């Protein structure tokens, strides 16, 4: 079996995201949390998640600045504004590990760990649902523009030109998905299975764990 090209071991990516989120929210009122966020961001770039980091960075900086500013204007409290900014930066940073892992790699990892097949299939579908929903919305909107259907602010247009085609497409997709699962021999019964391209735990994964723990300890102690 060959290894996947995931930047982080799939299960570790999820646990890392939860750790960053939990620790960051606990430390949100401490000014040292900014140092923790910066260190985690650089660490994720170093382990190969720089593309996801660059995608998230401008968005989370804008949101942190805007909502931090609103919090300051509303309460005239610098500490409260900093805490609001930290929370938004932490949420953005916690998203990065998950963005670096393909849903299929996470599914393979769960299958490798003997997680029940129903959970594995459900998670795979759930992770792919949001991108699929966005794609189908875009296709329906493009079809509306081609036909000159009008604005979605019009209830009749919204119902007849958008909602009906959109729901119809989703129903067709669900039928196709069910047929695809059946033709690929997927079953919920306890049968012996193998995993194609098994995810491998790499040295960078161990470094990531150690650096995260060390960073959290230093943030609390120093």
Please write the tens of the pLDDT for every residue from 103-139: 778 878 877 777 777 777 777 776 667 677 778 888 8
Among residues 16, 38, 47, the alpha carbon closest in space to that of 89 is found at: 38
Long-range pairs for 171-180: beta carbons < 8 A, 24 or more residues apart: 173/132, 173/136, 177/125
- How much of the chain, in percent, has pLDDT values that exceed 70? 85
Average pLDDT of 4-29?
Answer: 83
Confidence band, pLDDT 50/70/90 cuts, at residue 19: very high
């Amino acid at each position: 079996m060959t290894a996947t090209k995931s930047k982080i071991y799939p299960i570790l990516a999820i646990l890392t995201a939860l750790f960053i989120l939990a620790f960051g929210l606990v430390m949100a009122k401490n000014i040292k949390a900014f140092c923790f966020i910066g260190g985690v961001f650089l660490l994720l770039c170093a382990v190969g998640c720089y593309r996801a980091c660059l995608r998230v960075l401008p968005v989370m900086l804008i949101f942190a600045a805007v909502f931090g500013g609103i919090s300051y204007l509303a309460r005239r409290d610098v500490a409260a504004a900093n805490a609001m900014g930290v929370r938004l930066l932490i949420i953005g940073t916690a998203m990065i590990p998950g963005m670096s892992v393909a849903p299929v790699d996470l599914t393979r990892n769960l299958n490798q760990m003997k997680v029940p097949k129903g959970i594995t299939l459900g998670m795979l579908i759930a992770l792919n649902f949001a991108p699929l929903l966005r794609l189908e919305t875009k296709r329906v909107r493009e079809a509306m523009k081609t036909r000159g259907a009008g604005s979605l602010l019009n209830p009749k247009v919204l119902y007849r030109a958008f909602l009906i085609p959109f729901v119809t497409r989703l129903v067709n997709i669900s039928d196709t998905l069910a047929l695809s699962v059946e033709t690929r021999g997927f079953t919920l019964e306890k049968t012996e299975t193998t995993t194609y391209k098994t995810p491998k735990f790499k040295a960078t994964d161990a470094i990531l764990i150690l650096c995260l723990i060390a960073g959290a300890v230093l943030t609390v102690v120093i």
